[in-house]
Amino acid sequence: MKEIRFENVYKSYGKTEVVKGLHLTIKEGERLILLGPSGCGKSTTLRMIAGLEDITSGNLYMNGRKVNDVPSGKRDVAMVFQNYALYPHMNVVDNITYGLRVQKVPKEEMKARLHAALDMLKLKGYENRLPKDLSGGQRQRVALARAVVKKSDYFLLDEPLSNLDAQLRVSARKELVKIHELYKQTIVYVTHDQIEAMTVGNRIALMHEGKLQMLDTPENVYHRPANIFTAKFIGSPPTNVLDVDYQNDTVLIGKQPFQLNQMWVKQIDQSGADRLVFGIRPEHLEIFKTAEENALQGTVKYVENLGSGYGDLCRFTRS
C-alpha cells in the first residue's frame, strides 16, 4: 500500500514545537491537501515526508515501512519546491530530464515524457533557455514538469502554483488532476489557497499552530466544520461567528430574538452545552427591504463586487 502514515509525530526546532502530535493517514492514490495559515506546520509536514526534515519523535510510515531514518533519495518521491530549486547552469530540457538521466530511463521514453510535460505546462519554445532567462511563473512550470516526468509513487507539492498568473493557475490545476487520474500517485499538496484546496483535493487536512484541526472531504470541511477555527478559516468572506444567549428554542443576537428550527433545538438540547456560538456564512444571508417574520434587523456595512453578484456577499452587521 502506497499510503503515508504519521503516528504521534512531533517536530521541534530547539524549544519551538512546529508539529505537535500529528496522527494522519494519507491514503494510497489520493490527493490530500495540507491547508492552513502561514506557520501552521504544513510545509514542515511535507518536508518530513520527503525526508528533508528529521522527525523529533513519533513514527512515519510509507508503503508500510518505517522511514524515520530512510534518506530522501530512497523514498521514491518527486517534489516541487516553492522556490523552484532549478539548476542555474542547465537549460529547461536538461532541468526537466536530469532525474531521468540519473535513473537511466531509455531515451525514447525520456523524450515522450519530456514532450508531454512541455505541452501540458505550455513550455514549448523555452527548451533552450536558462532559468535566469525565465519569468517566475515559467520557472515554476519547469519545476512542475521536472516532478511530473519522474512518475514517482509519491508526488509532493509545496505551493506549486503560487507564482502563476490566475488564468494559468486554473489550467495547471486541471492538468494536475488529469495527471493524477492517469498515474494514480499519492499526492500531498501544500497550499494556503482555499480555492486550490477545494478544487484539487480528495480530502483536506486543515492545520493550525502545528495541530490537525480537521481531516475530511472539501464538502464536509466547508459545510460541516469540526470547530470554530475551521468554520472561520474556510470561506471568503469568512463565517460570521457570534456568542449568543439561548432560551426557549430562541437565541438572542444582541437584543433581537431569533427562533431556531427543531433540528437545531434537538441538537442543542442533546449536547448539554452551557455556551452557544452562532455561525452563519455571508452567502447564506438573504436581505429584504421590509421586515420579515423571524428575521433580524440590521444595516449593510460593506459590499464586495465580485462580478457575479453583490447581495450574496454582503457582510451583515446587526444594529
How high is the pLDDT of residue 310?
65
Bridge partner list, 302? 315
What band does 276 get if pLDDT is binned at 50, 70 and 90? confident
What band does 316 get if pLDDT is binned at 50, 70 and 90? very low
Asked whether residue 46 carries a pLDDT value surpassing 50, the answer given is yes
Query: What is the 3-state secondary structure of the chain?
Result: CCCEEEEEEEEEECCEEEEEEEEEEECCCCEEEEECCCCCCHHHHHHHHHCCCCCCEEEEEECCEECCCCCHHHCCEEEECCCCCCCCCCCHHHHHHHHHHHCCCCHHHHHHHHHHHHHHCCCCCCCCCCHHHCCHHHHHHHHHHHHHHHCCCEEEEECCCCCCCHHHHHHHHHHHHHHHHHHCCEEEEEECCHHHHHHHCCEEEEEECCEEEEEECHHHHHHCCCCHHHHHHCCCCCCEEEEEEEECCEEEECCEEEECCHHHHHHHHHHCCCCEEEEECHHHCCCCCCCCCCCCCEEEEECCCCCCCCHHHCEEEEC
Distance CA 291, CA 204 (A): 40
* Helix 92-102 / helix 136-150 crossing angle, nearest 10 deg: 20
Pairing of strands 203-208, 211-216: antiparallel
- The top-level CATH class assigned to 4-228 is alpha beta
pLDDT in tens, 8-43: 999 999 999 999 999 999 999 999 999 999 999 999
Asked whether residue 80 carries a pLDDT value surpassing 50, the answer given is yes
How high is the pLDDT of residue 44?
97
Q: What percent of the chain has pLDDT over 90?
A: 54
In 3D space, the residue among 42, 92, 73 whose CA is nearest the CA of residue 210 turns out to be 42
How high is the pLDDT of residue 18?
97
Domain boundary assignment for the chain: 4-228, 236-318
What band does 315 get if pLDDT is binned at 50, 70 and 90? very low
Asked whether residue 318 carries a pLDDT value surpassing 70, the answer given is no
Asked whether residue 288 carries a pLDDT value surpassing 90, the answer given is no
Q: What is the dihedral of CA 71, 73, 79, 85, to 10 degrees?
A: 100
Least confident of 60-64, 236-240, 277-281: 236-240
pLDDT in tens, 168-187: 788 878 878 888 887 888 99
In 3D space, the residue among 246, 310, 237, 245 whose CA is nearest the CA of residue 280 turns out to be 237
pLDDT in tens, 200-237: 999 999 999 999 999 999 999 999 999 999 999 998 88
How high is the pLDDT of residue 307?
77
Are 166 and 198 in contact by the 8 Å Cβ rule? The answer is no
pTM of the model: 0.85
Asked whether residue 94 carries a pLDDT value surpassing 80, the answer given is yes
Residues in the chain: 319
CA of 82: how far to CAs of 58, 172, 270, in Å? 27, 15, 47
What band does 238 get if pLDDT is binned at 50, 70 and 90? confident
Asked whether residue 319 carries a pLDDT value surpassing 80, the answer given is no
